[in-house]
Structure 1
């Protein structure tokens, strides 16, 4: 299994490392944080390939980290001897498999004596003169000329690798795109091929060649007689047609799977994605030790996604290590918050000590938008939509802008307990404020029960029970009955004390949009001031 991934200078990652879980890893992050890049890097270091092509064939200037390139160009202007930027991707393994142990060594950035593979992109010394001329050109582009670099795939013994060892089996499924016009992309062909033993593959290949030869001698026989008769005047040697027997015409290229008697390419993209995942997970353990899945939720309705995640959980082998990128809270909740890797720059967040009860809690409430909790840098937790709108009004009155403008996400709990949410925020070290009704309980007792999750950056504010059990009476106490009636646009005979509890969301919306002054209860003011 992969125990550590180290990435230096590759695309988004300048100096990145993460210790993945031995079984399942759920990779989340905002757009452009490097989720796909992480899977690409693992693929490159495991196979030396990307999208079925060798790294040297795919090498391009945008593999290099932009900051590394910018710093190098600035330094080169002062000192041409400055070392050129490079790329290093390392995978550290924990396995007693003899094939893996043969890759043991200390040629890695951590100087650990362990098995591993690495992919390095460095300047090729054979092109020193060309590189110097390129750098001296005043009209050169602000990118690295990859023509003068080379990609080297090696193990930790510094031995070049020519093929992926069998013990490092890899399956890659990208649910977002279907690359092949034939409906089966490179990765899917690799998966299908892995179900066969070498002798079985050879037997099919021989049978395929025989059938093509028979077609040449039978079906094409009459046509070849006509071609020969008409070609004698054009060429000294007779012309004829034959079925292609070269490697380009291998049986793998001509065989495609069917779904309910419909060619794979004609199936819906959601169905194709589900099939790819199922095929990858059902491969023999030795041929699929590492399974990489890009956004399994793509193209799938909720019910289909539910079935797919059930299938992933059922098929996951004890010797398989799974990496899944996702934008779906459902996928995250179902596969387990304790498997989370949250990307943010070069410092990923791992949750390694989340309470088992909290993990199970979110699994059972898999529809909750947990990703908002995970991805927010600063957030406010409130009990429901009415509290959310009132807080936003209080924040706007204080700062003349809504909290979202300052990167603060206000999240309604919608039945989720504050204890579970605050535990998750604590493990991720998030800046958070929680607003809670007292419901007749002493505020100090509520805070005391949650004190292990509270700190300077994590606060809970609860209304004084003497001023009301919930938000609505607290607002009436702070503003007075008459002014609250004006804020809400009520008739003279309407009593805010009885109207507001029966129209919580409507009342909060009127408060948010009212042009009248609204005095916030003290605990709401304290929550707003936390962000001052």
Structure 2
């Protein structure tokens, strides 16, 4: 399963329809900062998974997802009384023929028949027409009225889809970020979900509960609680210190990942990048994914460690389509200069097409 082409309109950097074609195996996005490399990866991932920045896109719709120029044009039209339609985000993924026959049709921006793909929209919902008209008449708009927008997915056969049931999946790997969710070490959660059996988790839960019980029975803690209790006589009830019993999996927020005895967050950036990428590639979702999206794998890595990481990537994702952004000539050489896609000024050009053009020019001039 592979993406042949993506068209993006009004999503972040790209206002006018932006088209990019991909190789079936490896693709390396190269360009200056702000050339749109990350936006392309985000666009693909949100269409295939419904997730943006780790959360459901339906809960993440904001004016910042829209192209700024398109938003400004719309707000200006409201102000001067020459109202234009609210801008909408459109992302289309075109698949290799035979990938998803049930997604075949002409429901794409090119109105082409016999094409397999998905059309994703964040657009104004007609069910809010009355509220929208009232808002326009009574208030001065200073920002996009995103409360009237919704995210929807359609196959090119024009059937509405739910991202959860789209057969093709992607996994996004960004080793430069280290996020915590609800106080938990995200990599503890990753390890738990992917490598531990139910009996292992039960054993950890029991050990954590025993640790909490020992805390409460500690003589020093009991003495401290007596002092606190004596000082709180004017209040209803007695105050005391206790370790949080929490919910069933509360131990996840109490533990941290360590690398050679050092908390993960304090380990070297290079070690973090390699471990995070390896864990992401071994994730159950990555095993099921056909599309691997990688954001700047070279972050914080020396050439030797980068070479090690490239070997892991090549071995692990064999048979999958890789789309990676990079600033590294080492990564480009390792994964193949012929797989480069150059981005500049809302346009792109692949090295393979340059080679073809060069061969044609050579023949004509020879």
Cα shift readout 1:407-436 (whole Å, capped 9, x = no counterpart): xxxxxxxxxxxxxxxx59848x9xxxxxxx
CA distance, structure 2, for counterparts of residue 17 and residue 28 of structure 1:
15
Correspondence 1:287-302 to 2 at 5 A = 287-302=288-303
CA distance, structure 2, for counterparts of residue 132 and residue 58 of structure 1:
24
Q: 1:52 corresponds to which residue?
A: 54
CA distance, structure 1, for counterparts of residue 154 and residue 198 of structure 2:
30
**1:259 matched to 2:259:** yes
Bigger radius of gyration: 1
CA distance, structure 2, for counterparts of residue 63 and residue 91 of structure 1:
18
Q: Which has the higher contact order (CA 8 A, sep 6+)?
A: 2
Correspondence 1:182-331 to 2 at 5 A = 192=191, 195-196=194-195, 200=196, 202-221=198-217, 234-235=235-236, 241=242, 243-246=244-247, 249=250, 251=252, 253-283=253-283, 286-318=287-319, 320-331=320-331
Correspondence 1:484-499 to 2 at 5 A = none
**Higher strand content, 1 or 2:** 2
How has the CA–CA distance of structure 1 residues 22 and 255 changed in structure 2, closer, same or farther, with 3 Å as cutoff? farther
CA distance, structure 1, for counterparts of residue 324 and residue 347 of structure 2:
18
How has the CA–CA distance of structure 1 residues 66 and 454 changed in structure 2, closer, same or farther, with 3 Å as cutoff? farther
How has the CA–CA distance of structure 1 residues 120 and 147 changed in structure 2, closer, same or farther, with 3 Å as cutoff? same
TM-score w.r.t. length of structure 2: 0.76
**1:2 matched to 2:2:** yes
CA distance, structure 1, for counterparts of residue 44 and residue 172 of structure 2:
11
| Contact preservation (8 Å) 1:224, 1:241 | no
Q: 1:529 corresponds to which residue?
A: none
Shift of 1:53: 1.5
Indicate which of 24, 28, 31 corresponds to 2:30. 28
Q: 2:122 corresponds to which residue?
A: 121
How has the CA–CA distance of structure 1 residues 248 and 454 changed in structure 2, closer, same or farther, with 3 Å as cutoff? farther
Gaps of 5+ in 1: 355-422, 430-449, 456-532
Secondary structure at the counterpart of residue 17 of structure 2? strand
Cα shift readout 1:256-310 (whole Å, capped 9, x = no counterpart): 4332332221111122112222333344663343222212222223333333333
Q: 2:152 corresponds to which residue?
A: 152
How has the CA–CA distance of structure 1 residues 126 and 238 changed in structure 2, closer, same or farther, with 3 Å as cutoff? farther
How has the CA–CA distance of structure 1 residues 229 and 182 changed in structure 2, closer, same or farther, with 3 Å as cutoff? closer
| Contact preservation (8 Å) 1:7, 1:90 | yes
How has the CA–CA distance of structure 1 residues 350 and 424 changed in structure 2, closer, same or farther, with 3 Å as cutoff? same
Shift of 1:46: 1.9
| Contact preservation (8 Å) 1:5, 1:92 | yes
Secondary structure at the counterpart of residue 296 of structure 1? coil
Gaps of 5+ in 2: none
CA distance, structure 2, for counterparts of residue 267 and residue 137 of structure 1:
56
Secondary structure at the counterpart of residue 352 of structure 1? helix
CA distance, structure 2, for counterparts of residue 220 and residue 120 of structure 1:
54
Shift of 1:125: 4.1
Correspondence 1:349-428 to 2 at 5 A = 349-352=349-352, 426=358
Shift of 1:55: 1.4
The number of residue pairs the alignment matches comes to 353
Correspondence 1:157-196 to 2 at 5 A = 157-161=159-163, 163=164, 168-175=169-176, 177-180=177-180, 192=191, 195-196=194-195
Secondary structure at the counterpart of residue 275 of structure 1? helix
Shift of 1:204: 3.9
Cα shift readout 1:437-458 (whole Å, capped 9, x = no counterpart): xxxxxxxxxxxxx944869xxx
Cα shift readout 1:355-399 (whole Å, capped 9, x = no counterpart): xxxxxxxxxxxxxxxxxxxxxxxxxxxxxxxxxxxxxxxxxxxxx
Q: Single out whichever of 336-345 and 123-132 deviates more from structure 2.
A: 123-132
TM-score w.r.t. length of structure 1: 0.55
Shift of 1:108: 4.3
How has the CA–CA distance of structure 1 residues 325 and 193 changed in structure 2, closer, same or farther, with 3 Å as cutoff? farther
Secondary structure at the counterpart of residue 333 of structure 1? helix
| Contact preservation (8 Å) 2:153, 2:160 | no
Q: 1:479 corresponds to which residue?
A: none
How has the CA–CA distance of structure 1 residues 337 and 205 changed in structure 2, closer, same or farther, with 3 Å as cutoff? same
CA distance, structure 2, for counterparts of residue 453 and residue 281 of structure 1:
46
Cα RMSD, aligned residues only: 4.1
Q: 2:141 corresponds to which residue?
A: 140
CA distance, structure 1, for counterparts of residue 172 and residue 145 of structure 2:
32
How has the CA–CA distance of structure 1 residues 190 and 25 changed in structure 2, closer, same or farther, with 3 Å as cutoff? farther
Shift of 1:37: 0.7
Q: Single out whichever of 303-312 and 216-225 deviates more from structure 2.
A: 216-225
Secondary structure at the counterpart of residue 278 of structure 2? helix
Shift of 1:325: 0.6
Q: 1:104 corresponds to which residue?
A: 103
